[in-house]
Amino acid sequence: MYQVSEIKQNSKISSESKKLYIESYGCAMNFADSEVILSILSENGYISTNEEKEADVIFINTCSVRDNAEQKIKNRLVQLKFNKKQKPELVVGILGCMAERLKTKLLEEEKLVDVVAGPDSYRDLPNLLNNVNGGNKSINVLLSLEETYAEISPVRINSNGVNAYVSIMRGCDNMCSFCVVPFTRGRERSRDVNSILNEVKQLSENGYKEITLLGQNVDSYLWFGGGPKKDFEKLNDNEKENSVNFAQLLEKVAKIDSNMRIRFSTSYPKDITDEVLFIMKKYNNICKYIHLPAQSGSSRVLDVMNRNYTREWYLGKIDRIREIIPDCGISCDIISGFCTETEQDHIDTLSLMEISQFDFSYMYNYSVRPGTLAERKMTDDVPIDVKKRRLTEIIELQNKISKNKNRQREGKIFRVLVEGPSKRNKNEYMGRSDQNIVVIFNIENYKQGDYVDVLIEKSTTTSLIGKIVEKSDTP
């Protein structure tokens, strides 16, 4: 059997200092959520551990955006069955989007977990864990119209002390026909602006040098003083006067610490405004980088995807970004082989990539997500071999564009925030440019959190390589 627990906002449940191990998969929002989860459970006596074998509780924070992500997580849960054989009292829980989507299936049919908690149920985790005894299972996957975890101070997991995520909103109102997010994370809710500013101030005081404002669609952020986002046109005059949109929030955040870099993700093309672009241009510490998912270069496919813009409109937005911020880095998401995609549609996507000249892209085959409009009303009619061939062509083109753009950066100087040792060579540092390009460089007498000017001597498809020529005090 399983128990559905009611959320108790202020309950503290003794855990006898049990050790908690969290694995996170998917988008940056999931990693930020894991920091909220750890904060909630730390307040209830749980201790974080980086050693899986030490754990009394193992949580897998999951992603449902693509099928291969779900299969990877299911395989991981099967592996954890071995841990439970060795340690019968071990509690395994699945959290996040996959928990919301599969709900009781993971408890009853596959019997892989003891706890299932959706993205809006993390306050209830102490109760859910307390209910797991005598073979009981616990579940809470209720979605909320209000939950933003606004006042919870995240516990930074595996932090380098330099970069941090700050969640500013949750959920999504854009019902793209391929996307499961509105069903797993619910409707859009914007976080109280003051709680965001307070968190950023705390990060600044603790020495962090870069934050990323997170949301499924940050550009639609709207706080009107009395509550989270709703249609701006439906606000009364007083609410409109006291409202804060994303551009205004971005400016407030930038003013907190001029030596702290500000990034944000993700932008929905139809919602990013000139106001946002001009704020980005105005403040040196707001990074000149935008992730702007296109998904397809065909107006017909974009309509089938319910993206609410055309190819021409998207290219116009790219032009506008580069008109206002000429040196802005732009990246993209692209789906290969969506329902009804023809060879001409595919050619249109390649053409859009050529024109847009993305710095890099996240590129995937289309996979059907249960519960979406595409799954309910469309046919996944592009053969897998065609999807793979088209994806290969997309990847090859993006690699060519990225390689050429990076080659053009050779001989130039970029300001870089030192984030830590390079993964491939511990004798080198890595960081990112303002445009979010990875830069590898010599260590010398510098440390994490320093801003340095790096002369680019050579490049690869994915990174720039150079040497430090000067230290800087500003982003």
- Residues 25, 29: Cα–Cα separation, whole Å: 10
CATH code of the region 413-472: 2.40.50.140
Give the pTM: 0.93
Amino acid at 135: G
Q: With contact defined as beta carbons under 8 Å apart, do 190 and 229 qualify?
A: yes
* Residue 177 pLDDT: 98
Give me the architecture of the 2-140 domain, per CATH: 3-Layer(aba) Sandwich (3.40)
Q: Where does the pLDDT of residue 110 fall: very low under 50, low under 70, confident under 90, or very high at 90 and above?
A: low
* Residue 398 pLDDT: 98
Q: Where does the pLDDT of residue 14 fall: very low under 50, low under 70, confident under 90, or very high at 90 and above?
A: very low
* Residue 1 pLDDT: 33
* Residue 134 pLDDT: 66
Domain chopping of the chain, boundaries: 2-140, 163-404, 413-472
* Residue 10 pLDDT: 35
Q: Where does the pLDDT of residue 172 fall: very low under 50, low under 70, confident under 90, or very high at 90 and above?
A: very high
Does the domain at 163-404 match CATH 3.90.230.10? Answer given as: no
Amino acid at 394: I
Q: Where does the pLDDT of residue 141 fall: very low under 50, low under 70, confident under 90, or very high at 90 and above?
A: very high
Alpha-carbon distances, residue 93 vs 38, 62, 115 (angstroms): 14, 10, 4
Mean pLDDT value of segment 306-329: 98
Domains 163-404 and 413-472 equal at CATH topology level: no
Per DSSP bridges, beta strands 428-433 and 413-421 are antiparallel
User: Any residues with CB less than 8 A from the CB of 263 and at least 6 apart, and which?
Assistant: 210, 211, 212, 213, 287, 289, 436
Amino acid at 222: L
Q: Which residues of 215-245 are buried (b: 16+ CB within 10 A; e: fewer)?
A: bbbbbbbbbbeeebbbeeeebeeeeeeebbb
